[in-house]
Structures are given as structure tokens and as C-alpha cells.
Structure 1
Amino acid sequence: MTIWKEFAQQAPELAGFGKARFASSVAYLGTVRADGSPRVHPVTPIIGEQLFLFMEPTSPKGKDLQRDPRYTLHCSVEDSSGGGGEFYVRGRATLTDDPLIRKQAVHASAYTPQDRYILFVLTVEFAYMNVYRDGEPHPRRWEERPSPPPQHAPGTQHRR
């Protein structure tokens, strides 16, 4: 699982663009409901070394993420022509009550989260950006690479 900082090291242009797009307006979080259907929620992402979301403890999006951690997060788009471009990530969310992680999220936040809010840390498995120049799309993407299988020294065998 890749945290935002690692994603930014591997794909700095995409991460910088995404950070700017998420900071410009509300974003939209896609989750999976208990019945398997999709649900979309307006959210305010926080980007520090990790990607964070605070929310009310009674929020349906929080219940969705606790049951099924898969998410997608899409920036707002200014107009039907793509405006300043579009950006989205997908990955997995983890609820945390770690006080050090919460302190990092609060420090990175542009607003003051309420003490009652729960906190999720989101990993990045896939990122996509698209900008339009002269009406033409110019997409870029990044995908987490799976870890390579362990290497064994020559002449040794892997035992199961």
C-alpha cells in the first residue's frame, strides 16, 4: 500500500496536480454501500505525508469504509470543458485512532477538525489526471506496482 508521500516521490507531477485540485474545492468520495451499490459524498481531503479524511462518526461514508475499505476520490471540475483539469485517486481507507497520526492530519489541515470527528488514512493504488489543451485531452496515470517476488540465492530452493 502506497501512502501519499511515496506516490508523490514516484509521480511528482501527478501528485502536485492532484494536491492543487483537491485544495481548490470540495472533492467527491466514492464508497461501496452494504448492498454493493455505489455512494458518492462531498469531502474535504487533507494532504500531508499521507492522504486524510475527517468525518462525523455517524457518517454513512465512514460506515461504508469500515465495512469495505475501497474508495475513489475525484476533484471538482469547474465546467463541462474540464476547466483546470480533473484528477482522481483510488485505493483503500483505514480508520485510525492513533494520536500521532491525528496530530499530523490536524497540522496538515486547512480547517480545524472537530474532536468528535473520526479519521481515515487513504492509501493510493491508482491516480489519474487529465488536462485539456485546445479542446484535446492529455491524460496521465500512475499505478502502484506490486512487490516483486522474493529472490533466492543461486543454488537454493524455496520450500513451502
Structure 2
Amino acid sequence: MTTRIGVYPGTFDPITLGHMDIIRRGAKLVDRLVIGVTTNPSKNPMFTVEERVAMVERETAGIPGDIKVVTFNSLLMDFAEREGASMIVRGLRAVADFEYEYQMAGMNQQLNHRIETVFLMADVSLQPIASRLVKEIALFGGAIRKFVPPAVEIDVAARVAEIGRKGD
């Protein structure tokens, strides 16, 4: 029997309740879910890649299934191939996400037609959550409790204390 492996890529800076929803649901679709934490300097990360991996590992520890967290800094399809994946798992929040993800799925299929992209709609209550917005809210002293797991809220508060709030 072939092991079905899926890859869920992202920066996870920080991991949000929206990410957690996609991970829980994605883990049910495959025998192994590989969470690929990638570097994206253009996103101005709040946490190092090592910190993000540790955060994702901690937050996913209680989720049933075979979940592996690794870093990657390559084309997604090359990473998926190396991991033996047959699918890419992506979350969709809004129409804007769909347009971008649809284009990426098409390009990825051109790069490797053996790997399918599977889209999971975000839970309605989680649709507005984006890591970028969570960071912005935190940097301006706003509450992020509704958007991230409790331990991540603490991690973000500690980092904001280190780097300083905006608007002060």
C-alpha cells in the first residue's frame, strides 16, 4: 500500500488558528502531512525559521496523525517531490486567495503534473485571519487572542516586547 503524503507549505510567522484548522483537516486526508516552513524575506519575518518550526511542532503535537515539520528554501514542487508527496494542501480564505492560489496551482502543475493541489476552505469564523495582520495588530498593542493559540500569543507578546511596539 502506498503512503499518501501531503505537503502544507507556508511561512507560519506566526502560526494562526486558521493554519491550525487547515492542518487538522489536512492531516485527515493523508497518511503523513509534511508542514513545510519556508523562508520568505520579503514578508519581513517576526520569528526566525527555527523559531517558527519549534512553534509549529509545539502547536501540532496533539493533532492525530503523522505530522512532520521541516524547513525548505526551494521551489515548492521540488520540495514536495523530495518529500514523496502526491498533494499540496492549501487553505483558502477569500476570493483574493483563490485568484492567487489558482494561478500558483496552474504553474505548479506545469512544473510537476504528478502532484495535485487540494484546496481547503477556511472555517468561516477563521477566514479573516492572516499572519501579516496578526503581527500588525500585535505591533500596535492590540489583542491577538482570538487569532492564535495561547502559547503563540505569549511568543508574539515576548517578541513585541523585544523589538518594541509601533506608535510609541
TM-score by length of 1: 0.24
Higher strand share: 1
More helix by share: 2
Q: Rg larger in 1 or in 2?
A: 1
Of structures 1 and 2, the one scoring higher in RCO (CA 8 A, sep 6+) is 2
